[in-house]
Chain A
Amino acid sequence: MTSYFIRRLLLVIPTFLGITLLVFAVTRVVPGGPIERAMNEALLAQTDSAQMIDMNSVAGAALSEDQLAELRAYYGFDKPWHESYVIWLGRVMQLDLGMSTRYTEPVWDIIKNRFPISIFYGITTLILTYAVCIPLGIAKALRHNSVFDNATSAVVFFGYALPGYVVAIALLTALASAWEWFPLGGFVSDNFDQLSTLDQAIDILYHATLPLIAYLAGSFAVMTFMVKNSLMDNLSSDYVRTAIAKGMPFKRAVFRHALRNSLIPVATSFGQLISVIISGSFLIEKIFNIDGFGLLGFESLVERDYPVVMGILVISSLLFLVGNILSDICVAIVDPRVKFGENGS
């Protein structure tokens, strides 16, 4: 099995190359990159007209050939895309993600600044998901088809059917705008630095409540039903019946025998959560104006800040790929029956 995981780990390399190559190529092949942006800005400064301009024919006039060449060299557009990909990759190997074209700061510094916010949301979501879903799933399985089961199903199902961003918009409209119970967005208040530590914590929670609900709405359903269904499967299996027939109290049979086996599918999702910590949802971050990883990616995409886009891609895809493998390792650890790589799985 070790060899299987080593093989999986080695396969991360071609996949990673494939992903970055593809996105890199897309950023190069499509027009409207940073050069066109700079040309347009130069042109707008000259003519002061805000009309849409045919970028290639007209805009060239605003900048001289020399300036253009200079710009191309600055953004690394002076070479064919495959050459610049190799150069870019070489830099990434040396842990250098390049400079942001928008902020003229190292990409890594920009990304690093967003980490605390994203990690805060990621970890809180993770803890809350497990803390709520596992007990809820157990309770629902034990009281299957009761009023409690059906009522919670209805609520959980609501979150499952709606995408997070719709939940976010609904919450924002109702609770933040109409009733003003919660702030309209942001991570902390403007006067955050002047608050005492306790108030700072309250302030963060106050701002985080609505986004957290939006994040959790979708993940609750999947996890809760996963726990519930697998526990119910196990409760009806022979070994639980045997245990009870031999005189074991029902509670003990549930928690000692059935529950252990039902948590195996939960472990499957564990590895993937490592990437959830980072990626977040840029829709939710945009709606609540949270300066996390997702919003950074979205903004840099809009602003054609391709080094930042690629930097985020590198980090998130590596985490995602490693997370997949971690998932499998988790499963192999908790379930000794699972043998990877021996029957072609």
Chain B
Amino acid sequence: MKLRPQLNPLTQRQLARFRSLKRGYWSAVILLITIVLSSGAELLVNSRALIVSYEGNWFFPTYGKYLPGSTFGLGYEYETNFRELKVFFERQPSNSNWVIMPLVPYNAFEVDLPASRYPPNAPSLSEKHYLGTDTTGRDVLARLVYGFRIAISFALILLICNYTIGVALGCAMGFWGGAFDLFFQRVIEVWSNVPFLYVIMIIASVIIPNFWTLMIVMVIFGWMSMTWYMRTSTYKEKTRAYVLSARALGASNARVIFSHILPNSISIIVTFVPFAIAGGITSLTALDYLGFGLPPPTPSWGELLSQGTSQLESPWLVTSVVGAMVAILLMVTYVGEAVREAFDPKKFTYYE
């Protein structure tokens, strides 16, 4: 086996074509950067300081245990309020202590209630609430960022689960056919006609779902479409000449499936990825919006949406979350279109 597997020429050309589709390519780049940044969101949006220099010692409070106020000579034992610490240090120009705060010095859970004003409060640069606060006084931008991280991880894990089931089962159905295929065809037909949002809502209204229970329920009702596509694709590939010749050479079932049929069905799998991600984000947000998703106070776009629609006089709530959704979903869909075009077999087939 080669150490670095050479991509086959077809894949290379597909990748080159994807790169040449500027809109989709740059959307993919920006999306990837956003995802990477959001995975380190604690460094960008956090109430804990990035670096504190106190009497010659450096502290990095972002990750790890909380530092009580007494660490920095403040008279309390609960967690240090780094925003106040920064102000406190700045008021004493003589000493060399300093604090570097993240870009947005709030986390997604803390309630910031300025005196004499009721939340939600409009965006304010001086308070560093760049997108304002929500109805309980939490920073909207912080909740957007952490909500995005939850939504995108949810969508990605959901995708992996659905695809694992879909590819395995669909491949088996298409490959072996017969009664096995017929049985699961009926199961899928029944299953995909169940109004799944209904069932999720019935279940979610009772068990108060967390991330993983919601995931399980969504997988239970989401594996069918990929299974169906894979079944059709396997069904088609199975009858092609190259599978016959592999068989004639004595290839086992496993070899036919894993080194012949699956690689040739990969374009189907890849093409649906962006749309599945968009679907995952939208359905989680819809569930959260209706109040059947992740329980409060989990930061979530859907919860912000529902706050925004009930507080239409505070337009920054709706505007920021709708803006975020538009940006992310447009980019995901651009990527999807570009992938679809790059993998379109019509461009690459030598026959027909």
Contacts and interface: CB of A to CB of B under 8 A. Distances in A.
Given A15-B189, A173-B318, A177-B315, A26 B199 contact: yes
A162 B301 CA distance: 14
Contacts of A298: 201, 290
Interface in B200-214: 201-203, 205-207
B136 interface: no
Interface in A156-206: 157-158, 160-163, 165-166, 169-170, 172-173, 177-178, 184
A236 to B, nearest CB: 11
A341 interface: no
A18 B205 contact: no
B305 interface: yes
A170 B312 CA distance: 11
B315 A173 contact: yes
A32 B206 CA distance: 6
Closest CB pairs A-B (n = 10)? A18-B190, A161-B333, A177-B312, A32-B206, A173-B318, A163-B282, A30-B206, A161-B329, A161-B330, A170-B322
A30 B308 CA distance: 31
B190 A22 contact: yes
Interface of A: 11, 14-15, 18-19, 22-23, 26-27, 30-32, 157-158, 160-163, 165-166, 169-170, 172-173, 177-178, 184, 283, 286-287, 297-298, 301-302, 309, 313, 316-317, 320-321
A32 to B, nearest CB: 4
B289 interface: yes
Name the residue among B202, B290, B305, B315 with the largest chain A CB count within 10 angstroms.
Answer: B202
A15 B190 contact: yes
A166 B322 contact: yes
Majority SS of interface residues in chain B?
Answer: helix
A166 B318 CA distance: 10
Contacts of A11: 189
B202 A26 contact: yes
Interface centre among A169, A178, A283 (most CB of B within 10 A): A169
B185 to A, nearest CB: 10
Contacts of A30: 202-203, 206-207
A172 B333 contact: no
Contacts of A160: 333
Task: Tell me which of A163, A172, A287, A316 has the highest count of chain B C-beta atoms within 10 A of its own C-beta.
Answer: A163
B193 interface: yes
B195 to A, nearest CB: 7
A183 to B, nearest CB: 13
Contacts of A26: 199, 202-203
A165 B286 contact: yes
B195 A313 contact: yes
B63 interface: no
A15 B329 CA distance: 34
A169 B325 CA distance: 12
Contact of A301 (B190, B198, B289, B330): B198
Contacts of B189: 11, 15
Given A23-B194, A169-B309, 17 more contacts: A15-B193, A18-B190, A23-B198, A31-B206, A160-B333, A161-B278, A161-B329, A161-B330, A161-B332, A166-B282, A283-B290, A297-B198, A298-B201, A298-B290, A301-B198, A301-B201, A317-B193
Contacts of A165: 286, 289
Contacts of A316: 195
